[in-house]
Structure 1
Amino acid sequence: MNPYEADKQLNLYLLFHYGTAKETLPYSFGPREALNFPARCVSELVDTARLGPDRRALEVGCSVGRTSFELARHCGEVIGMDSSENFIGAANELAQKGLLDYTRTHEGHIHLRSVAAVPEDIDRSRVSFRTGDALALPDSLGSFDLVIACNLICRLPRPLDFLKRLPSLVNPGGQLVLTTPFTWLEEYTPPENWLGGTAKAEDSFNGLRGALEPAFALEMEKDMPFLIKETARKYQWTVAQASRWVRTSH
């Protein structure tokens, strides 16, 4: 079973994508710079000056959709894809209604009610969501001025196959934005398919660069912290390696 189909995971990611700062980190201390990661993937990583109402964007591994909605501020058409029917169902309801009730784990069997809300100044009609396999993206998608995949690569069984598909998805001069903590786990990716993290290939980013060049040229690289709240007092604090690439004419 896809672990992301569980309702517990759905609620966890709704909080991660749409939770307020007070809901996520109600303490007077803590890593506040790690909040709002799905929105920051657009505001900090995408060169929005190159986009506009005639531009298309694709998010692969969109989860419950916040990054795709943020892209609608800058693009005329945004497609979000994810393998989880549960996540896409929630994203589609948010696209239709703008709001979605959910519960988040507080402590033990205690759950708190919350509401996920798309910011009112976003044109939700620009965004559509569909289920899809990142390793079997259909040719009918066409090509895009921006492709973004956040924390997806190290959850794929064959990440290199996904990376090899990207040149045909991004228009020349278009942007590719990737984030990944490179948390290679055998339950998701066989070690022989890792981009790094082995005695043979230690640096995963070098493996990523080798897979993308020369079709893509690196424009920017930075560390991107993010914070996932599991319960009232338990968090996942992680630092993703983020990069922006431009599609070359190769």
Structure 2
Amino acid sequence: AYPIIDGAPILVPDLAGWLAANGHLLLQRHELPDPVEAVVAAALGPDAAFNVIRTQQASYAYDHYGDLEEDGGTPAAFGPPPGNAVPGNCAPPTPTPPQPGAVRRTLAAALAQLPATTGPVLDIGCAVGRTAFDLAAASPGLVLGLDLNWPLLAIGRGILDRAVLSYPHRRLGMHFERRRHAVSFPGGERVDFWIADALALPFRGQTFDLAMALNVIDCVSAPPRLIAEMARVLRPGGGAAIATPFDWSSQVTPPDAWVDGPAALETLLAEVAAQARQAGVGALVQSGPARDLDWHVRLHDRAAMHYAVHLLTASLD
């Protein structure tokens, strides 16, 4: 038996282990009143899980949904502060504001290189869910968004269940603002979000027409297994997209499993394909040219990280 939390089934091989690691997140899944949230956050401190989660939610939600803000997602704080004095009469620095939508632009670039689909689509590592809604708008089939991170997935589920986007928006330091929007996306009735493991997809083989893994492969413990799982659940002729900034962490992926750059990723794809052919199953083969895209991650009003994300598309032969 697998539990369902706020509409999201938890479909992982080690259910007890996942619940033990994430139970505290499930218990705090309901929003606190804004003043109470601020008091709790200040008392716990910036390194507490409560605030680490809010910071992560803020970065992901801004990129996925920042275009819905009145300012189009561009914070007024970027640019020189009024009256800023710089030694030597130099012009004050003007940081480039991070534009939201990097994940959506990467998805659009991938879809432009993949065949149109009418069947079900899998969005692996969907985070807060905007790409799943974009996939539903671009195709007539069911779209399933999967992620192991419940605090991120809960933002997407809130849109499905209440037609409300709600997320913490980080301004500076410990100062957050709760952003809420009534939203409805085309095809949203065909979207669902599940808690599931990218390395143990809970589906029989040859189920999906399309599988996306945008900035996921450097977030799993076994990159070859992710590629193999994507191939397993795709129908013959199905398409796949893998995007990554190669931003590895030894806390997630053993260093000897790191994929060191675009050429190594293409080599890995070919190696997994060769193993699949030896086993007599479908193999993912690169389709179309690989490319690099800009990806900004907003941290707060005055800080952002800039990645060069490598996008590779493939088809199941």
TM superposition score category, shorter chain reference: 0.7 to 0.9
Task: Give the secondary structure class of the aligned counterpart of 1:113.
Answer: strand
Q: Does 1:155 align with 2:219?
A: yes
The one-letter code matched in structure 1 to 2:230 is L
The one-letter code matched in structure 1 to 2:177 is L
Q: Compare the two structures and name the one with the higher helix fraction.
A: 2
Aligned to 2:297: 228
Aligned to 2:195: 131
Between the aligned partners of 2:179 and 2:245, the Cα distance in structure 1 is 28
Which of structures 1 and 2 has the bigger CA Rg?
2
Q: Counterparts of 1:26-45 in structure 2 under 5 Å?
A: 26=76, 27=78, 30=96, 35-45=100-110
Q: Counterparts of 1:1-250 in structure 2 under 5 Å?
A: 6-20=53-67, 22-24=72-74, 26=76, 27=78, 30=96, 35-47=100-112, 50-52=115-117, 54-75=118-139, 76-115=141-180, 118=183, 120-140=184-204, 143-196=207-260, 203-213=263-273, 215-218=283-286, 219-248=288-317
Contact 2:123 2:212 in 1 (8 A): yes
Structure 1 unaligned segments of length 5 or more: list them. none
Task: Give the secondary structure class of the aligned counterpart of 1:157.
Answer: coil
CA RMSD of aligned residues (A): 2.7
Change (3 A) 1:121 1:91: closer
Contact 2:136 2:186 in 1 (8 A): yes
**What is the number of equivalent residue pairs in this alignment?**
241
The one-letter code matched in structure 1 to 2:284 is F
Aligned-pair distance for 1:23? Answer: 2.6
Deviations 1:221-243 (A, max 9, x none): 11121111111110011111001
The one-letter code matched in structure 2 to 1:19 is G
Aligned-pair distance for 1:25? Answer: 5.0
Aligned-pair distance for 1:191? Answer: 1.1
Aligned-pair distance for 1:245? Answer: 0.8
With the length of structure 2 as denominator, give the TM-score of the two structures.
Answer: 0.68
Task: Give the secondary structure class of the aligned counterpart of 2:260.
Answer: coil
